[in-house]
Structure 1
Amino acid sequence: MKSLFDWYMRKKFADTGIGRFLKKLGPGVITGASDDDPSGIATYSQAGAQFGLATLWTALLSFPLMAAIQGMCARIGLVTSQGLTVTLKQYYPRPVLYLMLLVSFPAITLNVGADIQGMGAVCHMMVPAVPVWMFCVAITALMMFTIIRYSYQKIAMILKWLCVSLFLYLIVPFLLHLNWMDILKHTFIPDIHWNNDYLSIIVAILGTTISPYLFFWQTTMEAEEQEHSGNGKKRAQGIWVDKRMLKDMRTDVNAGMLFSNIVMFFIILTTGSVLFSAGINQVETVDQAAKALEPLVGKLASLMFTLGVLGTGLLAIPVLTGSQSYMLAETLGWEEGLDKTFAEAKSFYISIIISLLVGLSLDFLGVNPIKALLYTAIVYGLTAPVMIAMIMHIGNNKKIMKEYTNSWFSNLLGALTLILMTAAAAALIYSLF
C-alpha cells in the first residue's frame, strides 16, 4: 500500500514535472533530512557562534562528498536487497563487522540521548512550568509508541512530512539584515584557523554530516523500499535493477544531500551572523541558542529555530534507533523490519526500546547535552574513515555488485572523502596530543 504522502502527491501533481520529481523522493530525502538532527543543529550553531562565518565553506564541500558515499550505500541496498550489515557478514571477516558495531553503537546511543535532551530543553523553554525531564520522558514514550505501532510505510510517510520542518531554517536569515558579499566570500574561500577548537569543530561538522549510522540506514531503507515496490515479494539479488531505477535513486539521494547541506549552511549563517557578532561565542544547550537568538532577531525567528529542533528530533530518532536495531538484528540473525509487528520481531523492537531508554537515562545522569552532541559528532568523524573505506571496497566488489560497481567519478569523490575525513581526524588527534 502506498503512503498517504505518495497518494496525495500523485493526485496533486501526477502529470507535472514536479509530480514526477516528488515520486522519486524517498529514502535519500529522509536520510538527508535526518542528518540535520539536534546533534547537527547544535554542532552548526556552535560553529557559527565560535567562528562566525568561517566554517560556511564546509557546506559547499560536504555536499558532493555526502552524495557520493550515500549514493554508494543506496546502490548497495538496491542491488543486494539487503542491509550493509548482512553484506559485511556474508563477504568479509567477522572482526570487520564487529569493529563496525563497536565504533557505531556508543556514538548512536549517545546521539539518541542528546537528541532527546535537546528536544526536552526546547519544549521546556516554550512551557517553563513543565520540567525538562518530563518532556524527555514524554518524547521517549511517543517515539516508542510510534515506532512499534506503525508500519514502515506509515513511518516513511510521517518522516517525509517532518522533512518540511527543515524549511524553517531557510526562512530565518531572510528576516535579518546580512552582508551577502561577505557571506559569498566565506562560502567559496575557506577561512581556516590552525587551533584545537577550530579543528575540533571541523571534525564535528564532517562527522555529523557524513555519519556512519546513515550509511547503514540508507542501505537498509533502499532495500526495503524496493521490496515494497515489488508488491511485498522479496526479490532475488540484482533482479529489477535497471538504469531508470539507478537514475531515480541518484535523484533521490542527491536531492536529500543537497537539502541537508542547504539547511546546514543556513544554520551556520544565522548563528554566525547573530550570535558571533553579538559576542555570544559559547552555546551550552540547544535551547540556549534559541534564547540567545530571540532578543537579537525577534521572537518569530527564535520560535522557528525552536520548532526546527523539535521537527528534526522527531525525524532523526527513529532513524538512529532503527539503524542501530537493523545492525544488531542482521548481525545476530533476528527477525527484523519496521514493516513487521512487535510479535513478529520482538528482539528487533526490544533493542529499539533499550536504545531509547539508555538515551533517556543520559538526562538523569547529568550529561551536558551540547557536549554530548559535539562529542558524538567528533566520534563519528574519527570512525567514518574506516566505514568509508569498507563501503568503497564493497562498491567495487564485482562478486557483490555484479555490473553495478562504482563509476570512476564515484570512486574519485569517495577517495577524496576518505582522504579528507582521515586528514581531519589525524589533525585533531595530533593537536590534542
Structure 2
Amino acid sequence: MERHPHKQALRQALRKNGKRTERPARSWAADVGPGLATIGSDNDPSGIATYTLAGAWYRFDLLWVCVLTYPSMVALQLISARVASITSKGLTDNMREHYAPVFFYFAVARFLLANTFNIAVDILAMGTAARAVMGGSVALLSLLCGGASLILQWCVPYARYARVIQWLTLGMFAYVGVILLLHVPWHTVAIRAFIPRIVWTKEYTTMMLALFGTTVSPYLLFSQAEQEVEERQEHASSKPSAGSDQELRKLRRDTLLRTALSNAAAIAIMIASAAAFQFSHHAPGESVALERVLEPLAHGFAPQVLALALLGSALLALPPLAGSAAQAAASSFDWQHGEKRNTRIAALLLVITAIGAAVAITLAMIGIDPVIALYWSALVNGMTITPVLVLLVLLSSKREAVGDLVAHWSLRVLCWLTTIAAGAALIAHSVLEFF
C-alpha cells in the first residue's frame, strides 16, 4: 500500500580490512529507484484485487479516491520523512515519546494485526497464482511461497532480488493494453475522477474504506520514516542536514514521482476493470475472476499473466509489510538502535512472516475466496487508519518533537483532508451498518 517504492532491507555496511562489505539483508529496506518496483510493491495483491472489485462493482464512480488523494498522499509521505529526518527516530518511536501509552500501543497493535493479515492474504494470493501456473494445492503452494519469501529476505539483499522480481510485475502493464483495446467513455472517466459520486449505502462506504486502506497504505509511511533514520545513521557525514533545501527538493521530487507511478497503476486497474465488466453485472460483495479483466489482451494466457503480476507484487511488498510491523514492535520495547536491535528486528520479521504464512494456509484449507480475503485486508487497513493519521499530523506540528521545522500549514491541510475523509467514511459505514 498503498505509495512509493521503498528501500527495503536493513543494509548494514561492515568495514573489514579497510573494505566496505554488505551484509545479506535480513529486514526490509533496500535501495530501489522509481519504476517497476514502485508499481509492484505499492500495489500488492490486496490492492490489485480491491481496485478490480471497485471497477467491477461501481465502474468509474470511485476513481476520485485515487485521484483526489494524490496530493494528500504526497503530503503524508513528506511529513513522515521530515519527522524522521529531524528527530532521527521512526514514527513509532516518536509516538511512544510524545503520546500517552494508550495511543502508542494502539498504533503498534494496529500494525501487528493489519500487517500480519495483509501478509497472510498476499501469501494466499501467491499460492493461488502459483496454482494458475503449475497446478496443485493452494495450501501447499502458499506454504512454499511463504517459505521462498522468508529465504529471500534472510539470504539476499532486497535491492538485488528486487531487480529480478520486479520484471514479473510487467503484467500490470496489461491493464493499460486492455484500456487501449476496449471502449472507454473518457468523458465519464474525467468527470468521475474529479467529481465524487457518493452513494450512501453500506456496500459503497465499505468499498471507500477499502480504497483508502490500500491507497494511503499506512505501513508505507512508517517504513519510509524508518528508512530515513537508516540513511541518516549510515551516511551521517555525507547526507545533507535535516531540513536543508537540497534534501527537501530531492524528497519532494522522489515522492511526487513515486506516488504518481503508484496511483497511475491503481487508476489503470480500475478503468480496465470497469471497461472489461461493463456488460456484466456484479453486485457489491460478489467475487469476480480477476483474470477476466486481462482476457481482451492476453486471451487464454490471462490467468498466467495475472499470476506473474501477483507473484511479483507480493514478493516486493512482503518485506516492507513485515518490516514495518517488526519496527513498530521494536519501538514498543524501546530497543536502542544498533546491532542488537537489528538482530532482534530480523527475528521479529521472520516470526511475523511465518505467522502470516500459517494464517494463509489456514484460509486456503477452509476454502476462503482469495479475492474476498484480499478485499478484507484492504478494509481492515481502511477501518483502522484514521487514528494513526491523526497522530501523525499532530506529531508534525509538535515543536517539542520537530522544533522550529514544523510541517508547513499547506501540508497539514492536505493531510487533514484525507484524515477527515477516511474518518467520515468510517462513521458513515458504522451508521449504515447498524441503523
The alpha-carbon distance between structure 1 residues 348 and 103, as it changes in their structure 2 partners (threshold 3 A), is closer
Q: Percent identity?
A: 29
Which residue of 2 is the match for residue 19 of structure 1? none
Deviation of 1:335 (Å): 7.1
Q: Tell me how far apart the structure 2 counterparts of residues 244 and 258 of structure 1 sit (CA, whole Å).
A: 21
The alpha-carbon distance between structure 1 residues 323 and 164, as it changes in their structure 2 partners (threshold 3 A), is farther
Q: Which moved more, 1:182-191 or 1:324-333?
A: 182-191
Q: Tell me how far apart the structure 1 counterparts of residues 188 and 249 of structure 2 sit (CA, whole Å).
A: 37
Which residue of 1 is the match for residue 176 of structure 2? 170
Which residue of 2 is the match for residue 320 of structure 1? 321
Deviation of 1:52 (Å): 1.3
Do the aligned partners of 2:243 and 2:405 also contact (CA within 8 Å) in 1? no
Q: Does residue 70 in structure 1 map to residue 72 in structure 2?
A: no
Deviation of 1:269 (Å): 0.5
Q: Does residue 112 in structure 1 map to residue 119 in structure 2?
A: yes
Do the aligned partners of 2:72 and 2:414 also contact (CA within 8 Å) in 1? yes
Deviation of 1:430 (Å): 0.5
Q: Which moved more, 1:374-383 or 1:197-206?
A: 374-383
Do the aligned partners of 1:31 and 1:217 also contact (CA within 8 Å) in 2? no
Deviation of 1:32 (Å): 6.9
Superposition map of 1:20-419 within 5 A: 26=33, 33-128=40-135, 130-151=136-157, 154=160, 166-230=172-236, 239=241, 241-281=243-283, 288-291=289-292, 293-294=294-295, 298-299=299-300, 303-334=304-335, 347-361=347-361, 362-419=363-420
Q: Which moved more, 1:317-326 or 1:32-41?
A: 32-41
Q: Tell me how far apart the structure 2 counterparts of residues 310 and 134 of structure 1 sit (CA, whole Å).
A: 15
Tell me the SS of whatever aligns to 1:198: helix
The alpha-carbon distance between structure 1 residues 272 and 191, as it changes in their structure 2 partners (threshold 3 A), is same
TM-score of the superposed pair, with normalisation by structure 1: 0.82
Deviation of 1:202 (Å): 1.1
Do the aligned partners of 2:165 and 2:312 also contact (CA within 8 Å) in 1? no
Give the letter aligned to residue 325 of structure 1: A
Q: Tell me how far apart the structure 2 counterparts of residues 283 and 298 of structure 1 sit (CA, whole Å).
A: 26
Deviation of 1:96 (Å): 1.4
Q: Tell me how far apart the structure 2 counterparts of residues 301 and 368 of structure 1 sit (CA, whole Å).
A: 19
Q: Which moved more, 1:45-54 or 1:299-308?
A: 299-308
Q: Tell me how far apart the structure 1 counterparts of residues 78 and 96 of structure 2 sit (CA, whole Å).
A: 21
Do the aligned partners of 2:40 and 2:169 also contact (CA within 8 Å) in 1? yes
Give the letter aligned to residue 192 of structure 1: I
Give the letter aligned to residue 106 of structure 1: L
The alpha-carbon distance between structure 1 residues 241 and 81, as it changes in their structure 2 partners (threshold 3 A), is same
Deviation of 1:413 (Å): 0.3
The alpha-carbon distance between structure 1 residues 284 and 198, as it changes in their structure 2 partners (threshold 3 A), is closer
Deviation of 1:53 (Å): 1.5
Q: Tell me how far apart the structure 2 counterparts of residues 162 and 72 of structure 1 sit (CA, whole Å).
A: 32
Give the letter aligned to residue 357 of structure 2: L
Aligned length: 405
Q: Which moved more, 1:163-172 or 1:49-58?
A: 163-172
Give the letter aligned to residue 152 of structure 2: T
Deviation of 1:39 (Å): 0.6
TM-score of the superposed pair, with normalisation by structure 2: 0.82
Superposition map of 1:414-433 within 5 A: 414-433=415-434
Which residue of 2 is the match for residue 6 of structure 1? none
Deviation of 1:421 (Å): 0.9
Q: Which moved more, 1:37-46 or 1:369-378?
A: 369-378
Render the CA deviation track for 1:409-430: whole Å, top value 9, x for unaligned.
1011011112111111100111
Q: Tell me how far apart the structure 2 counterparts of residues 358 and 81 of structure 1 sit (CA, whole Å).
A: 35
Which residue of 2 is the match for residue 21 of structure 1? none
Which residue of 2 is the match for residue 8 of structure 1? none
Do the aligned partners of 1:45 and 1:271 also contact (CA within 8 Å) in 2? yes
Q: Tell me how far apart the structure 1 counterparts of residues 328 and 172 of structure 2 sit (CA, whole Å).
A: 27
The alpha-carbon distance between structure 1 residues 312 and 397, as it changes in their structure 2 partners (threshold 3 A), is same
Q: Tell me how far apart the structure 2 counterparts of residues 69 and 346 of structure 1 sit (CA, whole Å).
A: 27
The alpha-carbon distance between structure 1 residues 155 and 57, as it changes in their structure 2 partners (threshold 3 A), is same
Give the letter aligned to residue 414 of structure 1: C
Do the aligned partners of 1:88 and 1:97 also contact (CA within 8 Å) in 2? yes
Tell me the SS of whatever aligns to 2:431: helix
Q: 5+ unaligned residues in a row in structure 2: which ranges?
A: 1-6, 9-30
The alpha-carbon distance between structure 1 residues 100 and 344, as it changes in their structure 2 partners (threshold 3 A), is closer
Give the letter aligned to residue 141 of structure 1: G
Q: Tell me how far apart the structure 1 counterparts of residues 427 and 269 of structure 2 sit (CA, whole Å).
A: 27
Q: 5+ unaligned residues in a row in structure 1: which ranges?
A: 4-23
Q: Tell me how far apart the structure 1 counterparts of residues 89 and 169 of structure 2 sit (CA, whole Å).
A: 25
Q: Tell me how far apart the structure 2 counterparts of residues 408 and 319 of structure 1 sit (CA, whole Å).
A: 30
Tell me the SS of whatever aligns to 2:69: helix
Q: Tell me how far apart the structure 1 counterparts of residues 194 and 427 of structure 2 sit (CA, whole Å).
A: 24
Do the aligned partners of 1:111 and 1:372 also contact (CA within 8 Å) in 2? no
Give the letter aligned to residue 148 of structure 2: L
